[in-house]
Structure 1
C-alpha cells in the first residue's frame, strides 16, 4: 500500500513529459492553416487541447544545427555551431548537458526513438528505440540510384531529389555499369524493401518509431515506477525523400490540388543568394523543378502533393502515440510538446528548400499541452518565441532548478520558459526577448558570430541582416507573404534600427 502511495505521490509531484519532434514541417497543418487542403486531424486535436504558439520560430533552419541547439538549449552563436559538425566535439555543447542527460540526472527515466540529434549519443538515454532512416530508395544493385520516374532535370541527390509514392515501384534497368534492381531498397539494413501494396509491405521508419513508442507507453502503464518519464519521439517525414504509402497521395488529387500563393519575381528585392560566392545546391531546387515541367504549377503540384502526403502520413503516426497516451493512466499527468525543427519554402521567392531567413522556413508548429493548467486549452499565443525556449520550458514543467552545465566550459541555457504563457496569456511573466532570433550560415568556412546571417521576427515585423551587410524588412501587419522589402523605405527607418538593436543585443549575450 505504501509503494502505491509513493508511486502516486511521485507522479503527482513530477509530470511526465512527451516531446514530439517533426522534421521539416512548416505551417502546412490544419491548426496553422498554411495549406487550405492539408489533413492533420491528430495534430489539430492536440492543438485544441493545448496552447498553440502561432509565432514560433527555429533558431537555425536546417536540421543538424537546429537540433544541436534546441536539444542542448544553447544558441548557435553562443556555441559557434552553425553547421553539420558533430555537436559532441563542440567545446561548449560537449560541456553542457543535453536535455536527455539533464532529465536523467534529475530523477527522470528517459526514452527516445527516431530522428532527434543528427549525431546520436544513445548512452544519454535509458533506452533508445528505432534509429533514424530516411529511406527507402531506388537502387541500381550497387548504390542508391535516381528513381526512373523522376524528371531528368531534377537533382539526383538521394534525399532531396525524390518525391514519389511507394506504389511507384522503381525499375532500374541493367547497364554495363550496374546490374539493375527492381523495387525499393532499405539502404540502412542492406536489404530489399518489400512493397506489394499499402497493406502488404515493410513498415517505414516513422511507423516503426510510432510502434516502439506505443509499446513503451503501454509497458510503462502496466509497471509501477516511482520515477516520472521523459520520452522524445522524432519523426523524419516530411523531410525528403518525400516517400509515403499511396493512400496518402490519394488524399490530395493533383487535379484539385492548390499550389502556394507566389508572387512572380518576388526574389528580386531579396539578398539571400548574394551572400554566397558559389552555387549552393539547395538554392537550385526550384529552378530544377521549373526545368522539369512545361508549367511550373504542374511541378509544384507534384511536389506539394508528395509533401502533404508525408505530412498526413506523419500525422497518423503522431495519432497512434497520442491515442495510447490518452488511454493510459498518464493522460492527466503528462505534458505534451510538439514542434518541428524548422519550416520549408514551397516555391516562394523561387525557393524550394529550407536554410533561409524568410517566414516559410523559420516559422514552425509549436503546441504545448499541460493538463494541470486550467484555462490553457485552445489558447493561441502570438508573441514571438523560438526553439531555444524548449529546454528551459521542459525544466520548468519538471520543476528542476539544477544547472545544465557539466563544468566551466559549458554555457547556461540561452532561452526562457514558455510556461508563463500557458498560465496567464494576457499578462505572462515572460522574461525573454520580444523577438525570435534565427541564424543562417554566412561564410561556410567560418564559425565566427559576426560572419553569419541573421533574422529577428517580432510580433509585427521581420528584419534580416546578411553577412554582406544587405538588409530586408517586412511588415507582417500588411504583408504576410513578405513580398515587399522595406529596408530602404525611410518611413521604416526607426523600426529597422530598433529591430537591428534587438538583434545585436541578443548576439552580444554570451
Structure 2
C-alpha cells in the first residue's frame, strides 16, 4: 500500500527556474565498478578518458558509498531512496515484484522510486534500459497493462532489457575458442565481437531512442526524458574485445624469457607490468590479524576465488621454468601472481570497454543531437565496489572500503563548470534520489503529508560549494550468504574519518546450526581512513583493540541502526591545532580551536552555541577540560609517558545542555617530542639502465613520505629500480613530512650519474607537482622541466582564482595556504595547455 503524499511547495533547485525548460537526465549506472576510474587513484594504469572528460567540467565525489555490497539490496535501496534497515532487503534473494518487498507486515509499507516521482510528479518520460533493479528481466517495476507508454503506472513509461550475462554470440565464441578460466571467468574475445556485446547494444538502443525523440518528441509523450542505462560490465564474465587489454597480459606461460605480467619488483618504475592491488608487508597480514576462522574471514572468502588463485599452477602443468634460480614453490607463487595480474587486467579492460561505450554515446549525442545533449544532466555511478585480492577477498560481498566505495560524477551540459569540482565530503547512493528531484524541480515525497520520506540528501549544495563540510554517516548493510553468518545483517558505518564494521553470528558459536537472535557473538573492526584518505586508505591497521580509540569506537557504535545517533543530524566538529612547533617539547602548550558546522555546513553561532558543553579528554592523562577552546600544557603528561609517546590524541565531546545528548565528536592528533625528529638516509646504485635505492633509513616520527626524481617521477612509493630513458645525471629528493605543520619536512637529496644509454623510454609524468598534498599552512609547487616557467594560478572549487605567482623550474614556489578554507583546489600553469593541472587538497 502506497501511503505517500507529495509536498505541494515546489523548491527551485540550482540552475533551474520557472522559465527554464527542464533538463533531460541520463544516468549511466554500472555493475560492480570500484574506484578504478581516472581521477580516483584506485589504479594507476586505469584508462577511462571519456569519464575523465565528463568530470573535467562537472563534479566528482571522492567519498561516495553504497548502502549494500550485493546487487539486489544496493539497487533496491538506491531506487527507493531508503536505508537497508528500512527495505530489509539485505542480500540477493528470489525475485518478486519490487513493491512486494514493502508492506505492513514488514513495517515498511511506504515506498516510492525516483523514476516514479519523476514520471508522476515532475512530468518526465522515464525510460529504463537493461539492469536497473536486480530482477530487471522479470520484475522491473514496469506497468505492462497500460494501453500506451504515456499512461503507465509504476516507475517506467518505457522499459527494455537485454537478457543474459553476455550476448549469446559472444558467449558461444568464448566456449568454442577459449573455454572457462578457473575461479573467475574472463577471456579476450575477437575485436569483431564488440558490436555483439550487450553493453554495445545498450548504447545503440539509447541512441535509437534519442534519434526518434529528436525527430518526434511525441515518442516520449512530448516530455523531458529521464533515461537510466544499466550497464552489465564490469560484472563477470569479463569477455572483452582484445584491444581493450593491456600489452602486459600474459598469453603464454611457457614463453622464454618469462614475461612477468605484473610489476616486478612491485616498486619498479616506469611500470614493467600491471600493478597488483596494494598489500601490506607481509602480504595479507591484515587478513590474518582478524579473528581466525571468524566472521570477517568467512565473508572474505565466501566466493572461494583465492584458493583457485593459489592453485593456478595446476592448470599450467608442467610447471613453467620461469627462472632457473627459482624453487618449485617460488614458481607456483609466480603463477598465482600472474593469474591475479591477468584477472586485474581483465577487470581494467572491462572498465576501459565501458568507458568507450559511454564515449561513443556522448560523441554521437554532441554531433547528431546537440539540442538534446546541451539540455542534459549526466550522472555516472555504480551499484557497489569490487575487490581483487585485498584481504584474500575477490568480487563483492564484504564491508571493506574496496566493496562499499563507488565512483560518482555529475555533469550538467546546460552549464558546464569552469573547472572540475571535487567533493571530499562523505556522500551516499541514497543522495541520488533527492538530487534527481532537485534537477527536475520536483517536491520531495512525504509520508502521510508530514514525515519526510527520503533518507538521502541532495548533492546540489556540494556541487555549488565543493568545500561544504557536514557530519554524515553512511550505513551499509549486508546479510552474508555463508551459512555461518546469514541470519542477521552485518553493518558498516563510514564517516569522513573513520570506518567501523559490526558483525553478528547466527548463534553462540559458528558450529551450531540455526538462527538464535540475541545469542550470537560479535566481531568489530575500526579503521582511521582519514578525512582526505591520508591515514589508512587500504585498511591495514585494525584499531578495534587499541584502547586509545575507545572514544571513537563508542561514537561509531552510536551510529548503527537502532542506536542512539542513527540517522540523527549531528554537528561537524572541525579542529584547528595550534602547535608551538613541529614536535613540541614537554615545556610547551598546545592549543586546539574547534568549529562546529550544522548539517547544512553552516557554522554554529549565537544561542545554539551557548547551549552546548565542550568536553576535552586525551589518551595520555586523566585530565578533563570543559571549555570551547583547549589550552593544554604538555607538562601535564608524566615525563616517562611523554618520552615513550610520539603523539597525544585529544577527544572532543560536545553535548546539548537541554537534552544531555551528544551532538558532535572528533579526535585530533598532536605529535610530540622533538627527540623524534626524523633521521633520513639512503644511497643510490646502478645496474645498466636501472637505478636502485639502497640502505634506506627513516627513523623517528613521520606522517608521510614523498619521492621525487627531478623531471621523472614524484609519488609516495619508492621508485626502485627506476629504469632511466637516457644517460645523464639524476637528482633524487626524499621528503619526510612529520609533526603538526606542513612546513615540518626533512629532506635527503642524492645525485647519481648514469653513463650508459638505456633503450627504455620513461613514462610521461606530471610537469606540475605539489608537496605536501594534502597541505596545511603551506606547500611547495614545482615545475619538473627546466624548459617551463610562467604564471601559476590557483583556483578554488568554484573556479575562482585565489592565488597567483611566477614560477621557474629551478626554484620551487612556496605557497601559503593557512588563509585558505579547507577543501580542494586546482593549480594551473597559465598559457600552457600541455601542462596538466594538479589537484591540491588543503586540510587544516
Residue in structure 2 matching 1:88, options 78, 94, 99: 99
Matched, 1:114 2:130: yes
SS of match in other structure, 1:213: helix
| Cα-to-partner distance string for 1:156-198 (whole Å, 9 max, x where unaligned) | xxxxx311112xxxxxxxxxxxxxxxxxxxxxxxxxxxxxx42
Output the CA distance in 2 between the equivalents of 1:83 and 1:404: 27
Give 1:457 deviation, angstroms: 1.5
Matched, 1:212 2:235: no
Q: Who is 2:165 aligned against?
A: 134
Q: Who is 1:496 aligned against?
A: 553
SS of match in other structure, 1:391: helix
From the superposition, tell whether residues 140 and 351 of structure 1 become closer, same or farther in structure 2 (CA, over 3 Å). Answer: closer
Q: Who is 1:413 aligned against?
A: 454
SS of match in other structure, 2:230: strand
Output the CA distance in 2 between the equivalents of 1:246 and 1:457: 38
Give 1:199 deviation, angstroms: 2.6
Q: Who is 1:301 aligned against?
A: 341
From the superposition, tell whether residues 252 and 97 of structure 1 become closer, same or farther in structure 2 (CA, over 3 Å). Answer: farther
Give 1:464 deviation, angstroms: 1.0
The range that moved more, 343-352 or 330-339, is: 330-339
Give 1:221 deviation, angstroms: 2.6
Output the CA distance in 1 between the equivalents of 2:226 and 2:50: 21
Give 1:381 deviation, angstroms: 0.7
Q: Who is 1:246 aligned against?
A: 242
Q: Bigger relative contact order, structure 1 or 2, given CA contacts below 8 A and separation 6+?
A: 1
Give 1:289 deviation, angstroms: 1.6
Q: Who is 2:74 aligned against?
A: 66
- Is the CA contact (8 Å cut-off) linking 1:336 and 1:369 kept in structure 2? yes
Give 1:458 deviation, angstroms: 1.6
Matched, 1:471 2:524: yes
Q: Who is 2:50 aligned against?
A: 42
The range that moved more, 90-99 or 354-363, is: 90-99
- Is the CA contact (8 Å cut-off) linking 1:376 and 1:422 kept in structure 2? no
Give 1:23 deviation, angstroms: 0.6
Matched, 1:275 2:295: yes
SS of match in other structure, 2:499: strand
From the superposition, tell whether residues 499 and 98 of structure 1 become closer, same or farther in structure 2 (CA, over 3 Å). Answer: same
Greater helix content: 1
Give 1:331 deviation, angstroms: 2.8
- Is the CA contact (8 Å cut-off) linking 2:365 and 2:373 kept in structure 1? yes
Give 1:213 deviation, angstroms: 0.9
Q: Who is 1:451 aligned against?
A: 488
- Is the CA contact (8 Å cut-off) linking 2:498 and 2:526 kept in structure 1? yes
From the superposition, tell whether residues 234 and 29 of structure 1 become closer, same or farther in structure 2 (CA, over 3 Å). Answer: same
Matched, 1:398 2:394: no
Q: TM-score normalized by structure 1?
A: 0.81
Give 1:425 deviation, angstroms: 2.1
Greater strand content: 2
SS of match in other structure, 2:491: strand
RMSD of aligned alpha carbons: 3.3
Residue in structure 1 matching 2:231, options 235, 243, 258: 235
SS of match in other structure, 1:365: strand
From the superposition, tell whether residues 378 and 493 of structure 1 become closer, same or farther in structure 2 (CA, over 3 Å). Answer: same
Output the CA distance in 2 between the equivalents of 1:281 and 1:269: 15
Give 1:148 deviation, angstroms: 6.4
Unaligned runs of 5+ in 1: 1-7, 156-160, 167-196
From the superposition, tell whether residues 211 and 317 of structure 1 become closer, same or farther in structure 2 (CA, over 3 Å). Answer: same
- Is the CA contact (8 Å cut-off) linking 1:257 and 1:301 kept in structure 2? yes
Give the structure with higher Rg (CA): 2
Residue in structure 2 matching 1:162, options 173, 181, 185: 185
Give 1:391 deviation, angstroms: 0.8
Output the CA distance in 2 between the equivalents of 1:400 and 1:375: 23
Residue in structure 2 matching 1:352, options 394, 400, 404: 394
From the superposition, tell whether residues 77 and 49 of structure 1 become closer, same or farther in structure 2 (CA, over 3 Å). Answer: same
- Is the CA contact (8 Å cut-off) linking 1:70 and 1:390 kept in structure 2? yes
- Is the CA contact (8 Å cut-off) linking 2:24 and 2:377 kept in structure 1? yes
From the superposition, tell whether residues 445 and 392 of structure 1 become closer, same or farther in structure 2 (CA, over 3 Å). Answer: farther
Matches within 5 A, 1:472-487: 472-477=525-530, 478-487=535-544
Unaligned runs of 5+ in 2: 1-15, 144-154, 251-260, 262-272, 314-331, 505-520, 569-844
Q: Who is 2:276 aligned against?
A: 259
Q: Work out the number of aligned pairs and report it.
A: 457
- Is the CA contact (8 Å cut-off) linking 2:295 and 2:484 kept in structure 1? no
Give 1:24 deviation, angstroms: 0.4
